Structure 1
Amino acid sequence: MFSIVTTADWMSFVIVALATLFLIGELLVNARGIFSILGLGFITVYFASFLEPNMFWMMMVIYFFGLLLMIIDGKILNDGTLAVIGLVCMFVSVGFTAPNWAAGLYAVIGVFIGGMSSFAFLKVFKKRKMWTKITLFDQLTDEEGYSSINQSYKELLGKSGQTTTDMRPIGSIMVDDKEYSAITEGKWLEKGTPVNIIEVDGTRILVKEQKNKNE
């Protein structure tokens, strides 16, 4: 056991906050792996202080699975669902690892504070360009030389269509007997929902639910 964690309940907050700070920080900025080593070291100390080997690995998996879900939500989906699930996974892993409720509460707060504080790294270090080339989110503008690709999409602006898949918030729509990939403003829509195309930017088609036929 690592006595540094067990000497006081509030040390759970310190260790977990630092672990989350550096691990999320590594994903946000280009720290050349230094932050990931520090974050992994802190979270290993925390789990190893209270858990037997079998439970140690289980809680490590839950913690990093939660972190992964938050990354996917933030970089791809942007609807908040996976982020909430991921945050709960991280809370559960550190909370149930603690030897008592006070230390567990400190650890849960540490996840939240550490995660929020990690965004401060963006003001100091170079931002990591991760998953920024996803086609649906790329804004291929005329200024970037994509006018020939954009022309057919520009003609869709203002037209109505219907979702052919569930939009969460990404999915497919049918317009004039042709199917296109599209995205909503963050709202989930069911398959078969009438929609209006309110914005077109390169290959990015933004749609909104059609409230009535005259809209």
Structure 2
Amino acid sequence: MFPITADWMSFVIVALATLFLIGELLVSTKGIFSILGLGFITIYFASFLDPGMFFVMIIIYFFGLILMIIDGKILNDGTLAVIGLVCMFVSVGFTAPNMVAGLYAVIGVFIGGISSFAFLKVFKKRQMWTKITLFDQLTEEAGYSSINQSYKELVGKRGITTTDMRPIGTVMIGDEEYSAITQGKWVAKDTEVEVMDVDGTKILVKDSEKLQKKSAD
């Protein structure tokens, strides 16, 4: 086994291990990065630990790595990522023979993890993540719209309230019923209203009789 004889070597080996292991999860390299990462992290733990503690610490390391991936790709909460990062820090830090080597190793996890995202600019992203996380922005240029187009066309049209608006209720516009809302005003059933604005699928209406009176004034 390759011996770690200098404290700074802990930084290099742990950084490379984390770089390739996270990189393997981000991009498609046909397992090459995973082999390199496993090789480097095995060298690190095996250099300082007996077989029993070797398995304990490497499990803690990979458990932390898994938590970070779950948080980053599914939950986006941040809590699991912090716990995972702490697990990785603990595993490499307590494995080191002294405080300086341990600090180097902890920094190696941090630098390696951040550097791994550079692979996204060079290699193809793993398709497995596109099933979990939506990378595309939902823009009108991409063919998406935050506003339902059929609802958008209702602006300026008039209808009749089929329920009391308190301030939410139902409006009949043409042959269709829609859920609508007023600007905090109560409007009685069977009142003619006009669609003033549409925000997403929220239809804002106003009493058309009051609008007519306001226009006359």
Computing the radius of gyration over CA atoms, which structure comes out larger, 1 or 2? 2
Segments of structure 1 that go 5 or more residues without pairing to the other structure are: 155-175, 177-197, 201-215
Q: Secondary structure at the match of 1:113?
A: helix
TM-score by length of 2: 0.62
Contact 1:17 1:110 in 2 (8 A): yes
Paired residue for 2:46, among 45, 48, 53?
48
For 1:45 and 1:122, locate their aligned partners in 2 and report how far apart those are by CA, in whole Å.
Answer: 26
Q: Secondary structure at the match of 1:132?
A: helix
Change (3 A) 1:125 1:131: closer
Percent identity, aligned pairs only, is 85
List per-residue Cα deviations over 1:98-126 (Å, max 9, x = no partner): 00000000000000000011111111111
Deviation at 1:131? 3.1
Alignment of 1:1-215 (within 5 A): 2-3=2-3, 5=4, 7-134=5-132
For 1:35 and 1:49, locate their aligned partners in 2 and report how far apart those are by CA, in whole Å.
Answer: 21
User: Runs (4+) of structure 1 moved beyond 6 Å?
Assistant: 135-147
The aligned amino acid for 2:10 is: S
List per-residue Cα deviations over 1:49-93 (Å, max 9, x = no partner): 000111000001000000000000010011111111000000000
Contact 1:2 1:48 in 2 (8 A): no
Segments of structure 2 that go 5 or more residues without pairing to the other structure are: 153-178, 180-198, 202-217
Change (3 A) 1:49 1:100: same
Change (3 A) 1:134 1:128: closer
Contact 2:24 2:34 in 1 (8 A): yes
Change (3 A) 1:90 1:199: farther
